[in-house]
Amino acid sequence: DIQTVVGANVDLKKVRLIVAGDMNDLGNDNDPTKFASIFGDFGNITISQQKKKPPEPTCCEDNGYQTFFDRIVTNSAVQPQAEVIYLKGYDYPLDKTTEFPSGRHNEEHKAIYGEVTFPAAQ
């Protein structure tokens, strides 16, 4: 519980929220209102957009990278810009294993990088 960390009397709208990673269908939908049930106490939510147009799918290796699950979510008024990270000499998937001994498929995502800016007045 975040209130345990920041204090029970802290207004969470004043806490700077940055969450990055696999947002599953929430990220693919790209609709900030769908995050309200999870992060609504932090105020209005913005979701990162990729700089590249059209954007590049980031999930998953086992479906040929067809979805956009990997995002940055924040309560900053400035929408974060993100991009897929490529390492010189390497291509996705980085792990070329398609199926692991356990029988699980390689669901590797493409890594993203982005910057979150909080305006001074926020």
Q: 28-55: per-residue pLDDT in tens? A: 778 888 888 889 999 999 999 999 999 9
CA distances from 26 to 31, 66, 67, 78 (A): 7, 15, 11, 19
- What stretch of H or E contains 82? strand 81-84
Distance CA 118, CA 122 (A): 6
Residues of the chain with pLDDT under 50: none
- What stretch of H or E contains 114? strand 112-115
- The pLDDT value recorded for residue 27 is 72
**Angle at CA of residue 45, ends 18 and 14, nearest 5°:** 65
